[in-house]
Structure 1
Amino acid sequence: MDPVLVLSAMRIIRAPEVAGVSAVICRSIERDAAKHGLVVTGPWIFVSDHIAKSIDDRFKIEFCLPVAASESYSGSFKLKTLSAITAASTVHNGPSTTISLIATALSSPRNRDISVNVGKSTIAG
């Protein structure tokens, strides 16, 4: 993945909260981007380091919407550039409650970065 400019928000949540929290945050970020004239340039990217090993574990996740460069953004969210990464990847076709099983399978001493595709979105860590 090449470096990409994103509008982002970070939260610390548990796996069962992903759907509800992402629905609210993503809608807010999209509205803020439109309000400030930012053009969306790609699909959502969800960034997480050390994704939870069980559904009860809390983990940090960043909700990132790729956007075109803006000379001056003064909205409610953080405008930042995600660095280029190399990541393991898989497609998950199942309930969101089983995402942690996929992450556990992908995470090994060789794979520090994890990317899990959920529907049309991507969780990258």
Structure 2
Amino acid sequence: MEFKNTDVGSILRIRRNLTIPEVGSQSAECCGRIYEKAEEIGACVVGPWHFISHGLPKDIETSFTVDFCLPVSGIKKYQVVMT
């Protein structure tokens, strides 16, 4: 595993509590919603996706938190644009 530091700036993010088997389908849904929201509010995509897992379990039954994040520009810092 390689760790990298990035200067992300503003992001559009959806946070979900998921199990490992749910990640694929939720990724497709959440990423699609984020792209739609970026277009709706006129945000410009400025970097690659960031998928952040919190408390990744060692089994497939335990849920954990996943952040689906897309770096953007053109929105105010801390502006809540989606839930």
Alignment correspondent of 2:27 = 22
* 1:25-63 deviation digits (Å, cap 9, x = unpaired): 110011001110100011111111221111111000000
Q: Distance in 1 between matches of 2:23 and 2:73?
A: 26
Paired residues for 1:46-125 under 5 Å: 46-71=51-76, 73=79, 75-77=81-83
Q: 2:18 aligns with which of 13, 16, 26?
A: 13
Q: Which residue in 2 is equivalent to 1:40?
A: 45
Q: Which has the higher contact order (CA 8 A, sep 6+)?
A: 2
Q: Which of these two proteins has the greater Rg computed from alpha carbons? A: 1
Indicate the percent of aligned positions where both proteins have the same amino acid. Answer: 34
RMSD, aligned α-carbons? 1.7
Question: TM (normalized to structure 2)?
Answer: 0.82
Structure 2 gap ranges (5+):
none
What letter corresponds to residue 81 of structure 2 in structure 1? G
